[in-house]
Amino acid sequence: MPDPQDMTRRVTELLERVVAALGLDGTVEVHDDGETITGTVHGESMGLFIGRHGETIDAVQHLAQRVALRDGDGERRRIVIDAAGYRARRREALEAQADEAADEAVRYGREVALDAMTASERKLVHDHLRERGGVETHSEGDEPHRHLVVSPLT
């Protein structure tokens, strides 16, 4: 059973190694709120760490999850990796796209498909639109091309 402090240490070490390997001038901060372990890399020029369309940061987040939980069936924690406020900016962009799609679905009375997203991004949009109301959502397609479809409530 992984110890929460051990999971936090593992995430910290992984992030420090990735930052060093990429040659970035950044500092690592890891926080555990009891449900989520959040690793944040602070510094200038975090574009390389974030990657094109967030692919690198998502891969690092996946690795961090695997490293933190490698001992198996113990206490599960959500692992989030962020840099330069990327996750908040991405959330705002996804919510704006979702709102536009919902408006279009209601206005024209038809389904609107969004671009492919990761599972966590699809969940964020599902939750956002459920709270907004007036539309329903479902996912279609296979990874990595799985996307959300927004439909007006009938």
Residues 97, 78 share a domain: no
Whether 77 contacts 7, CB under 8 Å: yes
Residues 73, 11 share a domain: yes
Tell me the residue range of the domain where 66 lies.
4-84
Average pLDDT over residues 33-57: 93
Q: Which one is predicted more confidently, 119 or 154?
A: 119
Q: Specify the pTM.
A: 0.82
41 to 50, 55, 86: CA distances (angstroms): 10, 16, 10
Name the domain boundary from 84, 108, 126: 84
Residues 101, 143 share a domain: yes
Residue 61 has pLDDT above 80, yes or no: yes
Average pLDDT over residues 27-51: 94
Residues 76, 112 share a domain: no
Q: Which helix (H) or strand (E) holds 78?
A: strand 78-83
Encode pLDDT of 77-97 as tens digits: 889 999 999 999 999 999 999
Q: What pLDDT, on the 0 to 100 scale, is given for residue 144?
A: 85
Domain count, the chain: 2
Backbone angles phi and psi of 51, in degrees to 5: 80, 170
